[in-house]
Amino acid sequence: MPRRAPAKSERYQLHRSPLAQRPTQRDIAKLLGETRDDLRRLVNYKEEFVQRRKIESVKSGKIRELAYPVGRLRGVHERLKFHLNKIKQPSYLFSPRRGFGQRDNAAYHIRQDQFLTLDLKQFYPSTSGAIIKRWLWEDLGMPEDVAGLLMHLVTVDEKASLGSPVTPVLCSLIHRKMFDRIAEICDARGLRYSVWVDDLTISGRFVPGDVLMQVRDIIRTSGLRSHKIKFRTGSRPVFITGIGVVGPHLVAPNTLHLRIQAGWADYHDAVTDDEKDAACQTLLSFLGTLRHISGRKSKAGQKVADQMNALRMEREVRQKFAIQLDKEKAELRVQTNYCAVEDLPFDL
C-alpha cells in the first residue's frame, strides 16, 4: 500500500529550519513573537505559568499528575510548534502530523499476516531537559546559551510536558535517529513500519523474533524503554491505534458498536421531537465514525451511509411537519382573534 504524501505544511528538511541556523537568543525570541528579556522572565517565573492537576485513568484507575503550560508560556509553545511542524517528517511517522489519522496508520498494515506492536514506556517524561538540550546543541547546532534558554522554555520539571502542544512534534524530532534506525531494520527485511506518537507497529508476511530483539536494543541504547509487546497473527482483527485490521479490511472496535447499539435504543425510546433530534445527532456522529473506519466505498460503509441517510430523512420529515403545524396554529390564532372582534355586539 503506498504511503500518503507529506502534509503541505512540511516545507523543509531539519537542517534548513530557522532553528538550525545558529540563532541567537534574540533570533529565537523574534521567531516566537517575544523579546529576549520576556523569554528570560518566562523562564525565571515559569511556575506561575504552569498548571498542575491530577487525573484518574479510565482504564487502569491510576492517578496521573499533569503539569502543563498555560497563558503566555503556552503561547510560546504553540508558536514553536508552528515552526517545528514545517520540518519534513519521515514517511513512517503518522502522528503527530497534519492530515494523517489513526485510520491511515492502521490502513498501512492491511493484507499483512503477522504483526508486532510495542509502546515506548513513559515516552514524554523520559525525554529529559538534558536530552532536549543535547539535541538542540548537537543536532540543530544552537549555541549552548540558546539551547539552554529554549530547553528551559519547553520543559516542565526538567522534562517534556505531557500537556504541552509542542511536546509531540518536539519528541518525534528529538528521537528521529532512533526511529530511523528501526526503519532501516524493517526496510532491510521487507517489513512495514509505522509510528503513532509512542506506539510502534511492524507487520509483514513473517516478522522474525530477532527483529524484536534489535528494535528493543535500539530503544534501550537511546535511553528509553519498551513495553506492551505483542506478536499477533491469524484471522482475528489486530487493533492498531484503536482500529482493527483483518485481511484487507478495517473494523471498528467493539466499544463503538456498543455505543451505536445504545444510540439506536435511545432513538427508538425518544418521545418528543427534541429527544428524537438529540438522539439522532448522537447516533449520526457514531455512525459517521464507523463509516470513516470501514471506508466509504466498502459494503459496510455503504450500509452505514444508508442508515445515516434514513435518519436524516426522518429528521427532515419531523422538522417539516413541526413547521407546518406551527404555521397552522398561527393561522388558527389569527382567525380566532378576527372572529372574536366581529362577534362583538357593539363597538368598544
128-134 own/partner pairs: CB under 8 Å, 24+ apart? 128/155, 128/158, 128/159, 128/160, 129/155, 129/158, 129/159, 131/174, 131/223, 132/160, 132/170, 132/174
Question: pLDDT class for 345, splitting at 50, 70, 90?
Answer: low
Question: pLDDT class for 55, splitting at 50, 70, 90?
Answer: confident
H runs (alpha helix) in 270-298: 273-294
- What letters, b where the CB count within 10 A reaches 16 and e where it falls short, cover 117-154? bbbbeebbebbbbebbbebbbeebebeeebbbbbbbbb
Instruction: Map residue 269 onto helix, strand or coil.
Output: helix
Query: What is the distance between the alpha carbons of residues 104 and 93, in angstroms, rounded to a whole number?
Result: 11
CB contact at 8 A, 322 and 314:
no
Q: What is the mean pLDDT of residues 169-197?
A: 97
Q: Which residues contact 343 (CB under 8 A, 6 or more apart)?
A: none
Residue 61 in this model has a pLDDT that exceeds 90: no
**Domain residue ranges in the chain:** 14-243, 254-342
Residue 150 in this model has a pLDDT that exceeds 80: yes
CB contact at 8 A, 99 and 7:
yes
**8-47: pLDDT as tens digits:** 678 899 999 999 999 999 999 999 999 999 999 999 999 9
- The pLDDT value recorded for residue 134 is 96
* Cis peptide bond N-terminal to 96, omega within 30: yes
In angstroms, how far is the first alpha carbon of the chain from the final one?
Answer: 85
H runs (alpha helix) in 50-141: 71-84, 102-107, 129-138
For residue 54, give the amino acid letter: K
The CATH architecture annotation of domain 14-243 reads 2-Layer Sandwich (3.30)
Tell me the percentage of the chain whose pLDDT exceeds 70.
93
Q: What is the mean pLDDT of residues 245-254?
A: 92
CB contact at 8 A, 126 and 158:
no
Listed residue (192, 2, 160, 144) closest to 84, CA to CA: 160
Residue 177: CB atoms within 10 A of its CB come to: 12
- The pLDDT value recorded for residue 341 is 53
Query: What is the distance between the alpha carbons of residues 30 and 19, in angstroms, rounded to a whole number?
Result: 12
- pTM to 2 decimals? 0.84
